Structure 1
Amino acid sequence: MREGWRDVHFEELVSDTQLGTTERGELDDEDNIPLLKMGNLTWGGFDLRTTEHIALRHIIGSNLILKPGDLLFNTRNSADLVGKSAVWQGQFRSAVFDNNINRIRLKPIADPAFYGTFLNTGVGKRRVQSLAVGSTSVAAIYWKDLKNLQVPLPPLPEQRKIAEILRTWDEALEKLTALRAAKERRLSALRAALLFGRLRLGGLGHKWVPTRLDTVTHELTKRNGGKGLGRDFVMGVTKAEGVVPMREQTIAGDISRYKRLPPRAFAYNPMRINVGSIAMNEREGEVLVSPDYVVFACNPDALDPDYLDHLRKTSWWGHYINSGGSGSVRQRTYYDDLAALKLPLPELDEQKAIAAVLNTARDDLAATEREIEALTRQKRGLMQKLLTGKWRVNSEKELA
């Protein structure tokens, strides 16, 4: 153990625990006091966008009013969520909590921010989750087990300094997250304005003509064949990540019937396009997709692929996809179904100009997302060092 640090049982740091009320709240009763439930807890934070409320008369004299510094611990949930906790900072003037949450108050020797971070990350989180009992759908962590959890006890000034350093990283991530949300809203607004003619670019004022998709695209059915591309070229399509490598265990033994997907062509699973699983191949070369996929390309003299790629990410596109297709059990949207879609289509030069503006906004958003990912990785590594004492801090200098 590091000098000045020692391992203790969690109960040695705790002055009081309290399970919450069994009273039920109401979503539309905002004149009363907020009631925090397990859904309001995240790993190390809170989601307070939707809160229930409870009449004050139900909790008078019950000692359930939260105070800043209270550690709220989720005792019952699904196996992957049970054990999440967060430190209450007084986000509401008054609030209480339900009986799936254990309020833990720490002794003066323990800093709530330090232990709130430790319990929700790395080794602390793994130790907490190892205490869960029950099934996959309903698991519980009882105080009789949690109190014996082994946790580090650094000197209090060092706990506070570690929490202060990590709070700086959290604040930077919060600012970047807010910036990302603003850029997402900007991109969405630009798509709504530019792709439907509400905002016209300077000097481009030709009349837009509703155009069927099949007059500006064509279906591709070319197969891989016996001496075609190898298994490393087999891709799947997801809503979140677009065209991505397919897991080996899901690839058929014979890939000769797999379809070829050229650069800047589109592919989708006809049974999953309704949830957004369609993407353009942004890779430099051809790849392969499942023989069950629909593959199509834009006619180079009529439709810009980037323009269509932005159009497919609008609510207008989603509304059509979810109202079309065929099949009584599960919707299927084949090329002939998609082909009937009438696009709001300007001339090709204006399409390319619009796509260039939207690409700039999209790339700017992607740059912020990469910043968030990099900062998150850095913070994770920093926590591993600081919360285990591998890197030491004190009140005179940050890292020792």
Structure 2
Amino acid sequence: MKTPANWQSVLMHRIADVRSGLSKSSNREGQSVKKPYMRVANVQDGFIDLSEVQEIDVPINQVARFTLMPGDILLIEGNGNPENLGRGCIWGGQIPDCVHQNHVFAVRTLKDAKLLPDFLMLQLQSRRGRNYLLSCAKSSTGLATLNASQLNQFPVHLPPLPEQRKIAEILRTWDEAIEKLTALRSANLSRRIWMRSHLFTGRIRLPGHTGAWREVTLGKVLTEHGLNGAGAEEVFSVSVHKGLINQIEHLGRSFAAADTGHYNRVLPGDIVYTKSPTGEFPLGIIKQSKIAQEVIVSPLYGVFTPATHALGVILDALFESPIAVRNYLHPLVQKGAKNTIAITNRRFLEGKLRLPMDPAEQAAIAEVAITTQAELACIDAEIDALTRQKRGLMQKLLTGEWRVKVETN
């Protein structure tokens, strides 16, 4: 699509200065001074993470060259991961006299360029910007990275300043809505963490419930029913974030054997234990099936029916936590030389947890867990919808396909 008549298309190096950062390993000759610096870990997608800011020795005669200024666009070179190419945000001067590492570019718009940093950042984040960065990524060594020369050749669409400002304001409205929902999501997750340490341990009791809590083996509350597939069930896998999910939907295709008669059948509400290390869950994942119909999973998975559906809900919510899963499984699992997990289904049931024995209290606790999970799902759906809306708006507004009305004095 052609740019509108009153827009320009200008290469980055004509309107911005792309600055490489300071190398940690370079020799420091002469006097130097310690300065806080931005690493790849600090530069996230749309925000600066200041939870851990380190210092670096900077030669005194190079301090000005590497010092960040408010309005600088920070972009990471990729660090070998294509998904990280061009990840970045705008530096707001959060830390005085801060410099940047060589894996983080600082893009500074020139004073006479008539280009807003916010507008340039939006273009780099847009579909066109992402496609350009991906097309430039070096892959000859198997590591996707960018260099300053490639960034300097990025074609920037340059509408008049009032139009840039209006487009940035419109898209900022979506960002603010997403930020508010993200904060609400964090509050929901914090509440669920509190529930795991208080409500699910009996430290805090729901009003009206005084029944006994006992430390029992999971074998007392879970039963391995041993049912196999009948041949008509769909094959499912287990995801950290989505729980039981259709294997084709999750992985793009089915990895099931031609004959699935020996696969384990999963009933609605069953607890499924995967014996595969995954990300934050090096000893496997424990999830409850929230699927309304019977499905089947790999025979490598353990499948167990809880004494009550509510107990299954409680176990599912408890084992959302990587720490809770590790604490339960670590005494039970043996790890092989190739990081394989050795644990039988019988051994899995030998671990102990402190659980409520009264079915009424189990149901009440489960209802709280279900409610907070439903709230979280609604928040995630809203964030996803707003993110897709913003992406669509960016495609229209940043190419000039949709024009904005700009007030003239």
Q: TM-score under structure 2 normalisation?
A: 0.86
The answer as to 2:345 corresponding to 1:340 is no
Instruction: Give me the whole-angstrom Cα distance separating, in 2, the residues matched to 1:169 and 1:43.
Output: 15
Q: Secondary structure at the match of 1:119?
A: helix
Instruction: Give me the whole-angstrom Cα distance separating, in 1, the residues matched to 2:310 and 2:156.
Output: 61
Instruction: Give me the whole-angstrom Cα distance separating, in 1, the residues matched to 2:325 and 2:85.
Output: 38
Instruction: Give me the whole-angstrom Cα distance separating, in 2, the residues matched to 1:59 and 1:179.
Output: 46
AA aligned opposite 2:102: N
Match of 2:96 in 1: 93
Q: Secondary structure at the match of 2:405?
A: coil
Match of 1:354 in 2: 365
Structure 1, residues 209-229: CA drift from partner, whole Å, max 9, x if none?
22221122210222224xx31
Instruction: Give me the whole-angstrom Cα distance separating, in 2, the residues matched to 1:67 and 1:117.
Output: 19
Cα shift at 1:47: 2.7
Structure 1, residues 19-69: CA drift from partner, whole Å, max 9, x if none?
2223469xxxxx953211233223444333222113566466543221111
Alpha-carbon contact 1:212-1:340 (below 8 Å) kept: yes
Q: TM-score under structure 1 normalisation?
A: 0.88
Which shifted more, 188-197 or 315-324?
Answer: 315-324
Structure 1, residues 116-136: CA drift from partner, whole Å, max 9, x if none?
111122111111221122446
Distance change >3 Å, CA 142–CA 287, structure 1 → 2: same
Match of 1:47 in 2: 49
Match of 2:300 in 1: 292
Instruction: Give me the whole-angstrom Cα distance separating, in 2, the residues matched to 1:303 and 1:394.
Output: 56
Instruction: Give me the whole-angstrom Cα distance separating, in 2, the residues matched to 1:173 and 1:189.
Output: 24
Cα shift at 1:393: 1.3
Q: Secondary structure at the match of 2:70?
A: coil
Instruction: Give me the whole-angstrom Cα distance separating, in 1, the residues matched to 2:320 and 2:348.
Output: 15
Cα shift at 1:79: 4.5
Match of 1:246 in 2: 247
Structure 1, residues 230-251: CA drift from partner, whole Å, max 9, x if none?
5xx1101121210011133412
Match of 2:19 in 1: 18
Alpha-carbon contact 2:19-2:148 (below 8 Å) kept: no
Q: Secondary structure at the match of 1:48?
A: coil
The answer as to 2:105 corresponding to 1:102 is yes
Cα shift at 1:7: 1.9
Mark the runs of 5 or more structure 1 residues left unpaired by the alignment.
26-30
Match of 1:129 in 2: 134
Counterpart selection for 1:35 from 33, 37, 40: 37
Match of 2:316 in 1: 309
Q: Secondary structure at the match of 1:93?
A: coil
Instruction: Give me the whole-angstrom Cα distance separating, in 2, the residues matched to 1:103 and 1:364.
Output: 39
Which shifted more, 359-368 or 321-330?
Answer: 321-330
Cα shift at 1:276: 4.6
Alpha-carbon contact 1:79-1:132 (below 8 Å) kept: no
Counterpart selection for 2:290 from 282, 285, 295: 282
Cα shift at 1:106: 1.4
The answer as to 2:392 corresponding to 1:389 is no
Alpha-carbon contact 1:43-1:120 (below 8 Å) kept: no
Identity within the alignment, %: 34
Instruction: Give me the whole-angstrom Cα distance separating, in 2, the residues matched to 1:325 and 1:88.
Output: 46
Regions of 4+ moved over 6 Å: none
Alpha-carbon contact 1:68-1:89 (below 8 Å) kept: yes
Match of 1:28 in 2: none
Instruction: Give me the whole-angstrom Cα distance separating, in 2, the residues matched to 1:294 and 1:4.
Output: 64
- Report the count of equivalent residues: 386
AA aligned opposite 1:258: Y
Distance change >3 Å, CA 42–CA 261, structure 1 → 2: same
Instruction: Give me the whole-angstrom Cα distance separating, in 1, the residues matched to 2:58 and 2:336.
Output: 50
Alpha-carbon contact 2:77-2:103 (below 8 Å) kept: yes
Cα shift at 1:115: 0.7
The CA RMSD over aligned residues, in Å, is 2.5
Instruction: Give me the whole-angstrom Cα distance separating, in 2, the residues matched to 1:61 and 1:269.
Output: 52
Alpha-carbon contact 1:78-1:136 (below 8 Å) kept: no
The answer as to 2:92 corresponding to 1:82 is no
Distance change >3 Å, CA 32–CA 270, structure 1 → 2: same
Counterpart selection for 1:367 from 369, 375, 378: 378
Which shifted more, 129-138 or 211-220?
Answer: 129-138
Alpha-carbon contact 1:157-1:394 (below 8 Å) kept: no
Cα shift at 1:280: 1.3
Distance change >3 Å, CA 275–CA 48, structure 1 → 2: farther
Cα shift at 1:322: 2.3
Instruction: Give me the whole-angstrom Cα distance separating, in 2, the residues matched to 1:78 and 1:364.
Output: 36
Instruction: Give me the whole-angstrom Cα distance separating, in 2, the residues matched to 1:63 and 1:111.
Output: 22
Match of 2:9 in 1: 7
Alpha-carbon contact 1:216-1:303 (below 8 Å) kept: no
What is the 5 A alignment of 1:184-195?
184-195=189-200
Instruction: Give me the whole-angstrom Cα distance separating, in 1, the residues matched to 2:349 and 2:212.
Output: 22
Distance change >3 Å, CA 74–CA 311, structure 1 → 2: closer
Instruction: Give me the whole-angstrom Cα distance separating, in 1, the residues matched to 2:58 and 2:119.
Output: 32
Match of 2:29 in 1: none
AA aligned opposite 2:175: D
Instruction: Give me the whole-angstrom Cα distance separating, in 2, the residues matched to 1:327 and 1:22.
Output: 39
Q: Secondary structure at the match of 1:152?
A: strand
What is the 5 A alignment of 1:137-286?
137-225=142-230, 228-230=231-233, 233-247=234-248, 248-272=253-277, 274-286=282-294
Match of 2:328 in 1: 320
Mark the runs of 5 or more structure 2 residues left unpaired by the alignment.
27-32
Q: Secondary structure at the match of 2:336?
A: coil
AA aligned opposite 2:351: L
Alpha-carbon contact 2:286-2:325 (below 8 Å) kept: no
